[in-house]
């Protein structure tokens, strides 16, 4: 997850993938420090990014969802 100058690594939920098969649906958990949480709550944009040597992608979190996620950070 990227927001402002911050980039946090997400942790995928266990049990959704195997060594030979990657699940098409991933649930991600992101751990925020107190400082990261404050910066996230004050951010105007946030992105979910994938960085792999063979694949890279970024998608902006829609504004309505971002506002809901900000409420869940404490």
| Residue 16, pLDDT score | 66
The number of folded domains in the chain is 1
Q: Quick check: helix, strand or coil at residue 48?
A: strand
pLDDT of the residue at 42: 94
Print the domain residue range for 64: 2-72
Residue 19: the pLDDT is 73
Ranges of residues in the chain with a pLDDT under 50 are none
37-70 burial code (b ≥16 CB/10 A, e <16): eebbeebeebeeeeeeeeeeeeeebeeeebeeee
pLDDT for position 28: 82
pTM over 0.85: no
């Amino acid at each position: 997850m990227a927001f402002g100058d911050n980039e946090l690594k997400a942790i995928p939920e266990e049990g959704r993938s195997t060594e030979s098969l990657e699940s098409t649906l991933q649930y991600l958990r992101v751990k925020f420090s107190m400082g990261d949480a404050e910066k996230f709550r004050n951010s105007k944009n946030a992105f979910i990014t994938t960085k792999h040597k063979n694949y890279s992608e970024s998608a902006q979190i829609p504004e309505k969802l971002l506002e809901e996620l900000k409420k869940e950070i404490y």
